[in-house]
């Protein structure tokens, strides 16, 4: 289960355990097998083995350099270093000042709210310095070519938008066929996870998951499906200097986010949740421009607090550069044309909550919100993630790297299982 413990301040989450829930029973027809091969998969634990704060190495290096300098008393003073020390500290710019003010508001919430949850995590044995799996010498990630393939797919003719149900279903006969992943929503309706070969690579698709692989210019199959969602989660590729330097992915200007067809995809009272980096400009844009443009009422700001396996913040709480938390902005879609009475099944959304977890070392691999948002949406919700890089059971996902973290290289096979007539019947339907 993804929730390790919970209290009135929030939840301590085990992201790896949540991923594993969908792969307790996997099936493969690949490699020319006539009969299905059943097995169990687990997401590789080394991707969640953050043992020490990220600044630890830098701190140790600084200490070592300081010791070396103190021992070399005969060394000549470094004039350039002395000049740097004499420089006056520059004033904070507008963005830095806004971030400093925001940090002052949430600092005590993070510090006090996380204390009991972290202690509970230690008491139950989840937070510990002991490794759950031996670390590999180097944690490698699969070279993802999905975004490039999406760009190439733009040269293909647009699908006829009159198609009422642009959905293709994986079945026994269609596992190894060439599927149009760019023009249709691909669905795994089975209660088993599929290992499939897509574009000559092997991927593991969770049970009852659906996805569309495309960029924002080819999102219309999702709209044409006619589905209305009770929960929409967005993890936009925000513009920032770090992204430009690393060249990890193509950022999307804030103005283009407004073009996302969220109102066309949202059911009445749909809960809309957006991940945002610690830039006051982006947070202000969501609250003052993006959500109003979609007719979404801002109701809450939650914080994702990132900790190590031993329960330390991954960055010092008062670090002037990076903070150990990220923000989630939550709101509800208030349609101006729909006057449906709000469902009594959903609880009132609390203004502040903490989500605490050990982050993945894979960039932009966010924890699932399924368990923590369950009380605030309908009992049998339809859920959608935009800008997704992984799939979830009972969710629809969209993005130009939507199956990135479903690549088989991120998983280990733990044991083979006996074939099941029931499961095989489901796959052949």
- State pLDDT tens for residues 115-135: 999 999 999 999 987 655 554
Q: Is the pLDDT of residue 185 over 60?
A: yes
Pick the range with the lowest mean pLDDT from 68-82, 257-271, 292-306, 335-349.
68-82
Q: pLDDT higher for 68 or 99?
A: 99
Q: Is the pLDDT of residue 355 over 60?
A: yes
Q: Are strands 167-169 and 185-188 parallel, antiparallel or unpaired?
A: parallel
Q: Is the pLDDT of residue 172 over 70?
A: no
Residues 64, 120: Cα–Cα separation, whole Å:
36
Q: What is the pLDDT of residues 2-46, one digit of tens each?
A: 899 999 999 999 999 999 999 999 998 766 666 788 999 999 999
| Amino acid 96: pLDDT | 80
| Amino acid 68: pLDDT | 45
| Amino acid 239: pLDDT | 80
| Over residues 205-224, mean pLDDT | 94
| Amino acid 414: pLDDT | 78
The percent of residues above 90 in pLDDT, for the chain, comes to 54
| Amino acid 285: pLDDT | 95
| Over residues 235-251, mean pLDDT | 67
Residues 336, 326: Cα–Cα separation, whole Å:
31
| Amino acid 203: pLDDT | 94
| Amino acid 35: pLDDT | 78
| Over residues 72-90, mean pLDDT | 52
Q: What share of the chain is helix, strand, coil (3-state, %, to 5)?
A: 30, 25, 45
| Amino acid 130: pLDDT | 62
- pLDDT tier, 136 (very low <50, low <70, confident <90, very high otherwise): low
Residues 189, 170: Cα–Cα separation, whole Å:
7
| Amino acid 16: pLDDT | 93
Pick the range with the lowest mean pLDDT from 102-106, 281-285, 421-425.
421-425
Token couple for 81: 């270093």
Q: Is the pLDDT of residue 326 over 50?
A: yes
Mean pLDDT for all residues in the chain: 82
Burial class (CB in 10 A: 0-12, 13-18, 19+), 424: middle
Residues 287, 297: Cα–Cα separation, whole Å:
9
| Amino acid 80: pLDDT | 56
| Amino acid 9: pLDDT | 97
Q: Is the four-CA dihedral 102, 104, 107, 108 of positive or negative sign?
A: negative
């Amino acid at each position: 289960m993804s929730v390790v413990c919970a209290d009135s301040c929030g939840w301590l989450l085990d992201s790896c355990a949540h991923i594993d829930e969908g792969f307790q029973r996997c099936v493969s027809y690949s490699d020319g097998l006539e009969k299905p091969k059943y097995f169990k998969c687990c997401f590789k634990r080394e991707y969640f083995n953050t043992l020490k704060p990220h600044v630890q190495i830098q701190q140790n290096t600084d200490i070592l350099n300081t010791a070396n300098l103190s021992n070399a008393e005969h060394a000549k003073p470094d004039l350039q270093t002395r000049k740097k020390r004499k420089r006056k500290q520059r004033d904070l710019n507008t963005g830095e000042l806004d971030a400093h003010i925001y940090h002052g508001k949430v600092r005590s919430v993070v510090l006090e709210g996380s204390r009991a949850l972290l202690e509970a995590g230690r008491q139950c044995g989840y937070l510990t310095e002991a490794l759950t799996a031996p670390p590999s010498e180097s944690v490698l990630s699969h070279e993802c070519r999905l975004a490039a393939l999406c760009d190439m797919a733009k040269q293909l003719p647009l699908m006829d938008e009159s198609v009422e149900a642009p959905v293709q279903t994986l079945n026994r006969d269609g596992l190894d066929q060439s599927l149009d992943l760019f023009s249709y929503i691909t669905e795994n309706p089975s209660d088993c996870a599929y290992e499939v070969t897509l574009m000559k690579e092997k991927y593991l698709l969770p049970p009852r998951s659906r996805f569309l692989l495309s960029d924002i210019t080819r999102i219309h199959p999702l709209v044409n499906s006619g589905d209305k969602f009770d929960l929409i989660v967005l993890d936009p590729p925000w513009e920032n200097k770090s992204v430009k330097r690393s060249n990890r992915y193509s950022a999307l200007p804030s103005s283009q986010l407004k073009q996302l067809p969220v109102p066309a995809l949202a059911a009445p009272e749909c809960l809309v949740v957006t991940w945002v980096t610690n830039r006051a400009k982006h947070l202000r844009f969501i609250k003052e421009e993006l959500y109003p443009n979609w007719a979404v009422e801002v109701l809450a700001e939650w914080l994702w607090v990132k900790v190590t396996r031993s329960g330390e913040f991954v960055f010092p709480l008062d670090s002037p550069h990076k903070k150990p938390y990220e923000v989630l902005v939550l709101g509800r879609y208030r349609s101006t044309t729909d006057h449906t009475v709000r469902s009594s099944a959903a609880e009132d959304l609390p203004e502040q909550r903490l989500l605490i977890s050990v982050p993945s070392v894979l960039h932009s691999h966010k924890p699932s919100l399924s368990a923590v948002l369950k009380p605030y949406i309908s009992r049998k919700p339809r859920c959608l993630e935009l800008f997704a890089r992984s799939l979830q059971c009972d969710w629809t996902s969209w993005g130009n790297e939507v199956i990135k973290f479903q690549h088989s290289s991120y998983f280990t096979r733990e044991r083979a299982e006996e074939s099941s007539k029931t499961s095989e019947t489901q796959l052949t339907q």
